[in-house]
Amino acid sequence: MDQLLPGLGQGKSSKEEQVSPHKISLIVLIHEYCMLRKPVTTQSVFSDNDSDTEVKFSEREKRDFMVTILQLLQSSDLTLKELCIKIRDKMKTELYVLFLKKLQEFVGEGVGAMKDYVQNVMRDYFQNNSGVERTSVLGLFIRRMVLAFEKLSFTQVTDLYRKFERYYVAGVEQDEGQSLAGSLTDSAMSLSGIRFSRGRSLDPFQLAADRKLGEEVRGVNSQRQAEYFIQQQVFLLQHNPKEALPPADLQEKILEMLEANPELAEAHFLSYLNSLRVKEYCTAVHNLFHYFDRKTIFTLNKGQVQVKGQKEGEVHRRYAALNLAALHYRFGHKEEALAPLQEAIGMAQDANDNVCLQHALGWLHRLSEQGTAQTENLLERAVAKSSELMLPNLMSIGVQACARHNAFSAAKPCQVFEYLQKSDMLNCQHSQSGFMCTSFANKAALWHMYGKRECTSMLSQMILHLDTTEHSVYYNGESVCIAMCNLARIHAQMGQYNFALDIINCAKKRFPKKQAYSEIWMQTEQEVLFERTILNRKFGVAELAVLNLKAFNPLESQLRHAILCKEKGDITPALTELHKLLETCQVDKGDHSVTADFKCRVYLELGSLYRQTGNASSAQSYILESMTLAKTHHLEYMTALGAVQLASVQLMMQLPHQALTMLYQYMLSLQAHGTVYDQANYLMCYVKCKVAIATRQAGDKKREGLLSCVNSLNRVTELYQNCEAFLHVKNPVYLQARLYHELGFTTERNRCSHQYRQIDQQYPTLSHISVNVI
């Protein structure tokens, strides 16, 4: 995320610790663990006799206990049921049973038992060797809780006991009458029946009320826990949003934190990030204002109104404006983003805050017109100043932005990738896994633009295999979703549509709907469906895919709608759509700016449409425009596709030798990196040129040439079948039947004729444009 949160969790003194039923349970768990490790005479939980017992804990069990306790100390308060679920499989049975038995004694014997137990813990902690170091995490926790308990009045102790009673009863009330002890053996203590020393029984209405009251003890009770929770969730939202709490649950937790700690401003920023996650604009703005309002509040001091930390307040105002600009940019409000950005720049200049200025410079580049000399100047200044100020994250982003700018400005690929190499070095030096994945995603996109499909596949797989763990959490950001979608597209281009949809389904699980980055795989899914259905002539599904695609990329949807009209034989609508797109491409300013490869695709579709309608001269002009633009921007694959179409036009003009020479020139590029469909079109055009040349010869040379073409047509048929372009299969089958007839192979001719008739019955040719296609 590109948001800035200055001073999260800093500059605030924690509130005094409050004793809660959950923390009493943790004290019991820690104390019983220490007692079990000491060789003392205790009463076995599985026997009625006294015996000298010492429970042995393995190193793994000790480590699991310590890790579990640390997590429980740092997390929010839990209900007893949730606590037992967390510890049941990670604790020894003896410890788990003793823990539950002690909690039952508190409820059964009254407030005195709880008070005596805390006093025993205090005596063991302060006087005896309890097995806990006083300066350790557990030791400091016990000290805080014991001292807080000692400060409670008698009334407060009684209220705490009643809360504990409700906490315990709510935990015992489980479905189907199961007890907290779960699947303990029959010889272990059973907690299914609760007996109270005062003989009190609870009726169903009272039990329901207690269950409701037991839920009240949940939530973040201290500011220390709240700050840890916020830091944890902010990290997960930036590093792996799927591992964070679901949006609804997280918002509920935030409300609980604000109810316990109304002055906790960071909770509003967490709510702001949660709103961005689900693209909730109004709530995001509301929470952002709340956060920075609380960071710059006025306080009363000796009866006078004074600014609380004038310098700190100015810092927060600068970053408030910067975050507001980022928020507007995220929702596509570029003009609205410029006003707060300029305000942030002005305040940062007044305060000589170079770090804030560098962040603002990065956003200014995004909001400026792309591809201009002014934008290039901004990027160079941003990179140089970030290097001077030792800001590796901003420098890495700036370098990648410069490489992208140079690529779109027709710089040589070697220079572009050499620039990206600097970003990789920075990311490795400073262990910036997120920026490392972003760099690889940029490289994959550039290789795709240059027409190197295998390089795109390799870099996408590198993203997925990269070790990006931080605090045992894998990075799961935008670049990961892009890498998965790249692989899905590549599988679809190979004709492996089921594998492509499987990868997209995997992306759905990692990036759920209505959350961050889900629109990436949604767009890819519609593109794959369109490519598949447009080839197998399921125009209804293709039309629905075009309609769905419009929500993510209107220009891409418009281009594919033109392709759909062309395939259906609707020449006039297709021609109108393509000319509108061409006008949009020629504007090339601001939000209407499109990339060079998209322009080339529009030119190629126009050339294909004119070629299929028999207008060779118009087709040739658009194809040459595409090839010129592609060569200028080093788009090798687009150049190769234009060469295939130009060869088809030359073949229509009875120039097979010139067409064959053109095809030879781009053979390697198409065969190594081309899609299955493009490879089939290339080979089909190649065979037609060979046939046209062979028919002009005589004798054995003609026969040899035709025989070689027959064998090549088998490969063309296989490629068309792999990508489900069944209508196009008729073309090589028909040509093969004609060649067999010319060569005198009657049986093979009849077989091809029968195959053609079966395909034609399933996929009939209904328009003249389809005749020209095949």
The residue type at 237? L
- Residues 477-509 as b/e (b if ≥16 CB within 10 A, e otherwise) read bbbbbbbbbbbbbbbbbbbbbeebbebbeebee
Average predicted confidence (pLDDT) for the chain: 82
Tokens at residue 238, please? 């930036």
With a cut of 70, say whether residue 161 has pLDDT above it.
yes
What integer pLDDT is reported at residue 221 of this predicted model?
Answer: 58
pLDDT, tens digit, for every residue of 677-720?
Answer: 999 999 999 999 999 999 888 888 888 888 889 988 999 999 99
Distance separating alpha carbons of residues 256 and 271, to the nearest angstrom: 12
Residue 468 near residue 651 (C-beta atoms within 8 A): no
198-216: average pLDDT: 43
Run of H or E including 13: none
Q: What pLDDT is stored for residue 649 in this prediction?
A: 93
**Spatial separation of the C-alpha atoms in residues 465 and 453, rounded to whole Å:** 19
Tell me how crowded residue 650 is: count the other CB atoms within 10 A of its CB.
22
What is the DSSP code (8-state) at residue 470? B
**298 SS3 class:** strand
CA 195 to chain centre: 52
Buried residues in 60-70 as b, exposed as e (16+ CB within 10 A): eeeebbeebbe
Residue 696 has a pLDDT of: 87
Return phi, psi of residue 43, to 5°: -95, 120
- What are 592-616's pLDDT values in tens digits? 468 899 999 999 999 999 998 888 8
The pTM of this model reads: 0.79
d(CA 579, CA 232): 52
Highest-confidence segment of 81-95, 223-237, 394-408, 741-755: 741-755
Mean pLDDT over 622-647 rounds to 94
Over residues 35-44, the pLDDT tens digits come to: 887 654 444 3
Element (H, E) at 193: none
Q: Reply yes or no on whether the pLDDT at 162 is more than 80.
A: yes
Element (H or E) spanning 288, and its range? helix 281-295
Q: CA 735, 737, 738, 742: dihedral to nearest 10 degrees?
A: 140
- What pLDDT score was predicted for residue 176? 37
Contact between 738 and 753 under an 8 Å Cβ cutoff? The reply is: no
Rounded CA separation 755/436 (Å): 52
pLDDT, residue 17, reads 67
At 172 the pLDDT is: 73
Amino acid at 16: E
Q: Please report the pLDDT score of residue 769 as a whole number.
A: 57
- For 457, the 3-state DSSP assignment is helix
**Residues with Cβ < 8 Å from 264, sequence gap 6 or more?**
223, 226, 227, 230, 257, 258
Using alpha carbons, list the distances in angstroms from residue 476 to 277, 401, 466: 14, 21, 11
Distance of alpha carbon 262 from alpha carbon 517, whole angstroms: 32
**Mean pLDDT, range 94-123, rounded to an integer:** 85
In 3D space, the residue among 211, 220, 108 whose CA is nearest the CA of residue 166 turns out to be 211
3-state helix, strand, coil in the chain (%, to 5): 75, 5, 25
Nearest partner of 651 among 576, 748, 735, judged by Cα: 735
Rg (CA), the chain: 36
Which pLDDT belongs to residue 38?
67
- Span 660-667, average pLDDT: 92
Q: Report CA 356 to chain centroid distance, whole Å.
A: 27
Give the residue-averaged pLDDT of 199-207.
Answer: 40
* pLDDT value for 80: 86
Q: What is the 3-state secondary structure (H, E, C) of 471-533?
A: CCECCCCHHHHHHHHHHHHHHHHCCCHHHHHHHHHHHHHHCCCCCCCHHHHHHHHHHHHHHHH
122 has pLDDT over 70: yes
Instruction: Assess contact for 606 and 586: CB atoms under 8 A.
Output: no
- pLDDT for res 723: 93
pLDDT digits (tens, 9 = 90+) for 519-542: 999 999 999 999 999 999 999 999
Q: How far is the first Cα of the chain from the last one, in angstroms, to the nearest whole number?
A: 49
Nearest-angstrom CA–CA distance, 545 and 523: 9
Average of pLDDT values for 451-480? 90
> pLDDT band for position 54 (50/70/90)?
low
If 0-12 CB within 10 Å is exposed, 13-18 middle and 19+ buried, where does residue 59 land?
Answer: exposed
> What gap in Å lies between CA 393 and CA 261, rounded to an integer?
33
- Percent of all residues in the chain with a pLDDT value above 70, rounded to a whole number: 84
Between 188 and 516, residue with greater pLDDT: 516
**What pLDDT score does 127 carry?**
66
pLDDT for 395-452, tens place per residue? 888 888 888 888 888 889 998 998 888 888 888 888 888 889 999 999 999 999 999 9
Residue corresponding to tokens 């068309």: 720
> What secondary structure letter does DSSP report for 43?
E
699 vs 182, higher pLDDT:
699
pLDDT at 686: 94
Q: Give the integer Cα–Cα distance in Å for 212 and 170.
A: 8
Strands 298-301 and 50-53: unpaired
Instruction: Write the pLDDT tens digit of every residue in 295-313.
Output: 765 333 333 334 344 455 6
Please report the pLDDT score of residue 65 as a whole number. 85
